[in-house]
Amino acid sequence: MRYTTLSVGVLEIDLQHANIDQLLFELTDENRMLVVDRITNALIRHFLAEERLCAEQGLLMTDEHRREHERLSGVLRMLQDQIKKEDPDRETILRTYSNILVEHVTRFDAFICERETSGGGGGR
């Protein structure tokens, strides 16, 4: 229960969030550097996929949300380097990613189903 703290209501996006949570569940003291690399790559790919899916399905992807993906991608790269240098324990790593994911999903992803054009305007 991190990225999947709440369902955004789009199957493909919820599945990608669940996959990222799954990577966090797999984190151990032994494999943590490998898993951090996987989570970083999976998240950065996911942000792009989420933007594409929203565009394809006419879902709400605000400029603010897009900018946050960009900012977070930078943060995630920095974090990856920092973890390699400082070698924190599994719990610290888990807590750090959990906080990032819960914050992102509740502040941004939660609203993508509030479609950009909600009726009112003729045409289909």
Task: Report DSSP letters for the chain, one per residue.
Answer: --GGGS--S-HHHHHHHHHHHHHHHT--TTTHHHHHHHHHHHHHHHHHHHHHHHHHHT----HHHHHHHHHHHHHHHHHHHHHHHH---HHHHHHHHHHHHHHHHHHTGGGTTS-SS-S-SS--
- Give the CB-nearest residue to Fe ion: 109
- Minimum Å gap between C-beta 28 and Fe ion is 25
Candidates 34-42, 47-55, 71-79, 91-99 — which segment interacts with Fe ion by CB under 5 A? 47-55
Q: Is residue 109 within the footprint of Fe ion (CB under 5 A)?
A: yes
Q: Answer for the pair 16, 50: CB distance below 8 angstroms, yes or no.
A: yes
Number of residues in contact with Fe ion under rule CB under 5 A? 3
- Minimum Å gap between C-beta 21 and Fe ion is 11
- Minimum Å gap between C-beta 101 and Fe ion is 8
* CB closer to Fe ion out of 25 and 91: 25
Q: Is residue 50 within the footprint of Fe ion (CB under 5 A)?
A: yes
- Minimum Å gap between C-beta 89 and Fe ion is 27
* Rg of the chain (C-alpha set): 16
Q: Is residue 21 within the footprint of Fe ion (CB under 5 A)?
A: no
* CB closer to Fe ion out of 21 and 50: 50
